[in-house]
Amino acid sequence: MRVLLLGGSTEASRVALALARAGIAGVFSYAGITPSPIAQPLPIRVGGFGGVDGLADYLRREQITHVIDATHPFAAQMSRNAIDACSKAKTALIAYERAPWMAQAGDNWRHVGDIEAAVVALPVDPARVFLAIGKRFLSPFAVKPQHFYLLRFVNASEAALPLRGAEVVLGRGPFTLEGDLALLKSRGITHVVSKNSGGDAAKAKLDAARTLGLPVIMIDRPHLPERRTAQSVDEILRWLGHAACLGV
C-alpha cells in the first residue's frame, strides 16, 4: 500500500499523523501556495502535477494505491483533477469532507454562489469589510474600491494587493471568539465575507459576527462530481483496512 495525501487543510495534518502512526507508506502533497507549509510526519512533495494526465502518470509511476483528498473545500480544480486522474489510473480515492458551517439563531447570512456574487452582494455605500477569503480571490473586489477591506493571511503577501485601502493582519488558526471580536471591533467592521470552509479553525469570525449583529455574505462551496467521502480520520483508516487510531 502506498498513499498520496493531497493536503491543504487542518484535517490533512491529522490524517498524515494517523498514517505515520499506523506505519502506512505515503506522500504528503502541498500545492505550493503557502511559502512556509507546516512540517509533516510523511515525505513531502510541493507543486502541481500538470493537470489530470500529469497526476494520473504520477500515480502510476509512484505506484500509488490510494489517494486521500484532504485539500481545502474550495480547491475545486484539484479535487476534480483527483477524481478524473484516479479514474484513469484505476486508483482508489476518498475525500476528507468536513461539514459545512450552518447558520444558527441570531446569524444574518446571505448565501451566494461564488466570488463574483459576493462582490455584487456588498453594498454600494462605503462599508468596512472583513474579507476572509484568502489571497487568490481578491481581484474581483477591486470594482468596489469605496470599501475598506480587512484581510487576514497566514503569510505576508509578496505581490502587490489589488485592493486599495486594504489592511492585512497575519495569523494562523485556530482563532478564538475573543480575538476575532477584538479584531472586528477595533477595525469598525460592518460586513463579513466568508467562504463556507467549515471546521473549527476559522469559525470564530462567524461567532464574532453573530455576537456583533453583523451581516455575513457566505460563499457556498463549489459543486463537485460524486465521490467517496469521509468525515473523520478513523473512517479513512478503516477504508485503508486499518483499525481506528484514537487520539488523532
- At residue 247 the predicted structure's pLDDT band, cuts being 50, 70 and 90, is very low
Pair 153, 197 in one domain:
yes
For residue 38, what pLDDT is reported? Answer: 80
Domain region containing 46: 3-99+224-239
Pair 124, 164 in one domain:
yes
Among 20-34, 135-149, 207-221, the range scoring the smallest mean pLDDT is 20-34
How far is residue 13 from each of residues 6, 30, 87, 147, 161, measured CA to CA in Å? 10, 11, 25, 36, 29
Give the contacts of 159 (CB within 8 A, at least 6 positions apart). none
pTM for the whole structure: 0.84
- At residue 244 the predicted structure's pLDDT band, cuts being 50, 70 and 90, is low
One-letter amino acid of 101:
W
| Torsional class of 213: left (φ above 0), alpha (ψ -120 to 50), beta (otherwise) | left
Pair 186, 94 in one domain:
no
CATH value at residue 181: 3.40.50
Kindly state whether residue 248 falls inside one of the protein's structural domains.
no
Pair 211, 230 in one domain:
no
Please state the domain count of the chain. 2
